[in-house]
Amino acid sequence: MDQTERACASYLLKYDGNSVLIDTGTGMTGNLPRIEESYQDIDAVVNTHRHPDHVSDLIPFIQNKLVENIYYSENEEDVTIYGPEGHSEYVESRIACEMNESIDGLNENNSFEIKVVEFSEGSVTDYPDSKCIEAVHGGSEFPCYSLKFETDNYSIV
């Protein structure tokens, strides 16, 4: 199969004017433009775990958001990256390795801010315009989570 027709895990959840990208698997950065979605419109990224098929396009997502912000958009929305325990250190190390930068450096030099929020078993994380992102451990030794998103009008697991 042609690699341009393949992609790993990534889902776009849209509700009440919000856009949440669930996982950033290989191929996600090619598919967002195909469905006419702008990187600037993504409010949050949620990584359920750190296997490559769920996080490999995280740094390309950040890079594309930077490029769109500089050249194509007046929308300067911050982005929050949610992930399991240790995700802050993981994201920081990936940015350092692949972009030769730090989150603080990116935040100082750009018009939007990147934040990382970690979740754990049973944690309930407030998210703009929703009640929560609730994490339930997937049962393996590796930190892998099933998530429940809930608003006043919707619930998705």
DSSP string, 58-124: HHHHHHHHHHHHHHT------EEEEEETTHHHHHHHHHHHHHS--HHHHHHHSSS-EEEEEE-TT-E
Residues 6+ apart with CB under 8 A from 44: 18, 19, 20, 21, 79, 80, 81, 82, 127
User: What would the pLDDT profile of 126-139 be if each residue is shown by its tens digit?
Assistant: 666 555 566 665 66
Counting every residue written for the chain, the total comes to 157
Q: Using DSSP bridges, classify how beta strands 11-15 and 18-22 pair: parallel, antiparallel or unpaired.
A: antiparallel
Most confident of 2-16, 37-51, 82-96, 106-120: 82-96
User: What would the pLDDT profile of 11-60 be if each residue is shown by its tens digit?
Assistant: 888 877 888 899 998 888 888 888 888 888 888 899 988 888 889 999 99
Q: For the chain, what are the domain ranges? A: 3-120
Name the pTM for this structure: 0.85
| Domain at 3-120: CATH code | 3.60.15.10
Check whether 89 has a pLDDT greater than 90.
yes
Average pLDDT value for the chain? 81
